[in-house]
Every structure is written in structure tokens, then in C-alpha cells.
Structure 1
């Protein structure tokens, strides 16, 4: 971990759509945010693959990333957080991300996960392949070879070959940690929604990390972790705005896919009391409040798990409040702006 407790901050984007927005509106707001995050100096902006939900418009991650690249001239790193590899052929992923690297240079990370990123029916419509650890690891090996010099395979990704797009392993359990360790890849843990196995997964990853693997991308265990954040000028306003994210979780957990709802003064008026423990568990890793409250929580979280980087997820009904949250956080954290 860096000696400075202020580890780099990155952002996870799902192109959220609020009530009253069209999909095109959501895309425009996310593009504007990408431009601002680039200016503010955030380390990375990753887009997560989701399908079949009215809340998130991030199904075609590589297309969104190419669009963001054209609106982030100051060089923020862009990437997938992640591509759900069993939904795609490794060759096609190599071609897509190799094309991005060919067009825009060394600006992209390729984060890989095993989850479907959707409901079972939609997963079936995606012609999803096997997602067991051995199958997944084999697909990752294929992908690494396609993006390398092409010497180990007769099938070639063109463009893609020789771009060596950096690969990250994503995970919310010990499975992803095992694959990341065996292949010598940096690891991003989804603690923003599934923190239960975080300590065990990071211990496995660090204990078993193989820096000598042919696929190794880093020379030591390297860990990023997700955290829910909402910063506002006052604690009361932050918690009020955060009720949008809480309603979102309630909808997801009950099989809903509605756009993000406006904040409410009393969460109990829109969510059954019995659902509140589930929401609190989902959001157990969070920092919500004014800047003086949020910064120590982030510092303590990074120190407790010896993290190299934090990746932030923030949801508000009003896109302006989301951008303001990232602006307040960047200032409080002391990020050096790019402009």
C-alpha cells in the first residue's frame, strides 16, 4: 500500500437512469460526468456491464468507453469494471478492447468478472457459456494470449494483438481471488455490494499470489476495492440524497428494474420496514456525509484492508448532485486536478 493514506480514487459508472429520463438523457449525463471526472483528476473511470435493467444503461461497455474516450481529453484511464467474460467470446473481447487501444492508445483497463450481470432469462438470451473457475481461467488465458504478441495461438485478434491491454480480475467472493492470484493479476473486490467475504478473499489472493505466472501483470498483490460514497455540504442532505440509492437496492433485491427514484424524507414511507436490514447489509461499506465525515471513513477503510486504490460508486436522482459529490470529494481528498 502507498505510504500516504490517501490512496488514488477511481469511479465506477453504470450510466444510471433516473425517473423522467430517456436512455439518451442518461448517456448525456454520464458523458458530462466523465468529462468532469477527467478534469478533477480521478485515477480511473470504469464502466460495469449490466443487461436488462431500466436503471442502468451500461450493457455495451466497450461502446460507452470509446465514447468517453472522445470526451476525456486529459487522460483519465478508462476501463471495464467489468466485462462479464462468460457472456462473450474471449476473441471478441480482445478485438473490441484491442480496437479501443489502437484508436486511443494506452488508456484502457480490462476488468473481468464471472457474474451474469442480469437475470437468468436475459443471461440465457446472451448465450452465456460456462462460468466455473476452470472455464473462466481458461478464457482469461485465451484473452491474454490474444492481446499479447500472438505467438501462442493460431487464432489472432486483429486489431488487438500486441496491445497488451492491462487486465484486472474482479470478484465478490473467494473464487475471483483464486484466479487473480494464480494468474498474477491485480484484483478489484466488489465490497460496495458484497463485502461479506472480503477479508477472506484478500487473504487468499495475497497468500497465493504468483508473480512468476506467465500471465502476471503486476509484481506484487495489488488490490482495489469498491465503496458507496455520497458527499454533500451537510450530513443531513447527504443522507437525504442517499435514499435514492437505498430505494434502488430495494428494487434490485425484489426483482425490480425501475429507474432511480427521487430522494425521500422518510425511507419507511416507500420501503417496507422488513426490507431495511437487507438494504443496510448491501450498503454496509459506505461513506455518506459532509467532506469532513467522509474522508476519515475512506482513509480507515483503505488502511483496514491495506488497499492500493478505492473505486467509488455514487447514485443520486439529480445528476447535478452526483457531480457535486465527486467535486466535493476530490477537493477534500486533495486530488490534483488535470486542468
Structure 2
């Protein structure tokens, strides 16, 4: 087991979740409080992900939310995990993130995804492109060019944005994203927290085909961040009880019935039929739930099994105070370098 001094960095993925009984403003305030905690506790990044048209998550306008979080934090890197590029023109993304970097300096990561991040009808209302691999790779290349050094004679420019060099990341939940990340020389964030099955094959493909010499390259060697679900509490029993909220959320998402987060329940079997219990219990490998020591042991095991450089953890609780407590307990047991 790695000593605390050799553990890889931890980051936070937050979707501004809204619980039953909360207003959208409450959900955004809870995310701001969590970002302030993460900043102080030594987490490396705080990423928010673009989702549209859902009662569950209030993170549809990521750049606006990140600007708000930047005003209320000091050190932590803030980013999109990710911006869903089929919904946006690369020029507009470059302007938004270029504006953030101009206002707040080099504190932003621009994670890019190929999915629309919503249902088909909402996707059609947002739609700008299809997200097919070839057009997507071109969009990423355009975005990198807009954020890069001024190009003599360029007809189209991102102002502000040009010259800010906001770092690009590629997101993926399959080998498709790994392919693009490798070809473009980008760091790769894998959504193993909800799609663990292809993690190893995606990482292998990415590391094997990584091109440090690509014109869009952002890093000199392959860099992988993987997602994992975490809930730490003083006792394992309490952690498992609180985690039923996340399990019910997974069932709601998979069955097309999204809603604000449910309160935890004593017994999932009492509220879910057999086939839905299987969804609730899926993906055990990317679920670290228990006391802080149990959670750290699970994360250590995950890191020793999969060649990743950083973990991005996500936590759902009905009561936002329990989410904040979980991240505080994890920071302590992982011995994160706390901000002075």
C-alpha cells in the first residue's frame, strides 16, 4: 500500500446536485461551499460537468458556474468535466474560457466531451454538431488554435482567448475518447465512475498511441485521470446508509426518471424491485464507501490495479453537509497538502 507521501493527487467532480426540498439556488450555493472546502483541503482540481434539462443537476452553464467559483476560491484549479462540444461552437468555448483565464489567470482546465449530456430532444434544441469522431477532432483542433498563440493573418480570432493557452483535456467513457486523446496529445480523463468496463482497454489504447508531437499536444507524456465514487463517514454503517441516495440516483438515471436526490433509505430492497437492485449494486470496483480508512484502502487498491496519474472523486448525499464531511474525511486520510 502506498505511503501517504506517495499517493496520487485527488480532484473533485461535482454536478451541482439538487436534493429534494432544495431550490436550484440552494444547490449552487452548496457547490460553492464545497469548492471552498476543496480549495482549503488540498484537492488539486474542482471540475463541474455540463448536463442539461435534468432536475438532478444544476450544472448546465459550466463556464458561468466556474466564474462564480473562481471568485470564491484561491488556489484550486477549476474546470469543466466537461464541456460537451457538440453543443457549442469551438470559437464560443474559446471566448468563454479565454475570458475566465483573462479574469482569473491560469486556473482553468477545459475538459471536452463528445456526448450531448442530455436527452435526445434537449440535445436537438441545443444541437450544433453530431459529435462524430472526425468532426469532433476537428473541433478540438480549432479550439486549441483559438486559445494558442496569435496566428498571423487569421480571419477568425477568440478575443479574449488568444494566447491564454487554457489546458485542454479529453473526456471519455469508451475507447473512442481514448483514440482522440492519444491522436491529439491531450491528457485523458476517463469516466470510470459510471463506465468502468472499458477503463483498462481505453488506458492501454491511449498510452500506446499517444502522440506527443501532435500540433494540439498539451502534455509530453500520457496522463490519465480516472473517476471513482466515494462516500466516507465515521462508521461504515452510516456511509452505506448515506450512499443509498447515490444508488437511488443511479437507478433513476438508468430508468429515465431523473429527480432531485432522494433521502437515504434503511433498506434498498424494500423500495426497489429485484431487477433495479442490480443497477443499484453495479460497479462495485469504482465505489469506495465506508470509514475513511476503508475508503483509502479501496482507492489504494484501485490505483495499484489501474495505471492512473490522478483520481477524480464524486460524492452524492441528500444532505450537502454530509458531502462536505465526506470530502474532509477523505482529504485527511489521504494526507492531501492542505492550503496554508
TM-score (norm 1): 0.97
Tell me, in whole angstroms, the C-alpha distance in 1 between the residues paired with 2:135 and 2:271. 43
Tell me, in whole angstroms, the C-alpha distance in 2 between the residues paired with 1:138 and 1:295. 40
CA deviation after TM superposition for structure 1 residue 269, in Å: 1.9
Match of 1:197, SS state, is helix
CA deviation after TM superposition for structure 1 residue 306, in Å: 1.4
Tell me, in whole angstroms, the C-alpha distance in 1 between the residues paired with 2:339 and 2:164. 26
Match of 2:58, SS state, is coil
Match of 1:236, SS state, is helix
Match of 1:257, SS state, is coil
Residue of structure 1 equivalent to 2:248: 247
Q: Does 1:18 align with 2:10?
A: no
CA deviation after TM superposition for structure 1 residue 271, in Å: 1.7
Count how many residue pairs are aligned between Structure 1 and Structure 2.
338
- Within-5 A mapping of 1:186-205: 186-205=187-206
Residue of structure 2 equivalent to 1:81: 81
Residue of structure 2 equivalent to 1:106: 106
- Within-5 A mapping of 1:1-339: 5-73=6-74, 75-151=75-151, 153-282=154-283, 284-339=285-340
Tell me, in whole angstroms, the C-alpha distance in 2 between the residues paired with 1:100 and 1:294. 35
1:85-111 Cα distance to aligned partner (Å, 9 max, x none): 011000000000000000000000000
Tell me, yes or no, if the aligned pair for 2:242 and 2:264 is still in contact at 8 Å. Answer: yes
1:12-71 Cα distance to aligned partner (Å, 9 max, x none): 010000000000011111111111111111000000000010010000000000000011
CA deviation after TM superposition for structure 1 residue 150, in Å: 3.0
Tell me, in whole angstroms, the C-alpha distance in 2 between the residues paired with 1:267 and 1:5. 38
1:141-172 Cα distance to aligned partner (Å, 9 max, x none): 00000001131742100000000000000000
Tell me, yes or no, if the aligned pair for 1:228 and 1:283 is still in contact at 8 Å. Answer: no
Match of 2:34, SS state, is helix
Gaps of 5+ in 1: none
Tell me, in whole angstroms, the C-alpha distance in 1 between the residues paired with 2:4 and 2:15. 31
CA deviation after TM superposition for structure 1 residue 281, in Å: 2.4
Tell me, in whole angstroms, the C-alpha distance in 1 between the residues paired with 2:4 and 2:149. 36
CA deviation after TM superposition for structure 1 residue 203, in Å: 0.6
Which stretch shows the higher mean deviation, 30-39 or 311-320?
30-39
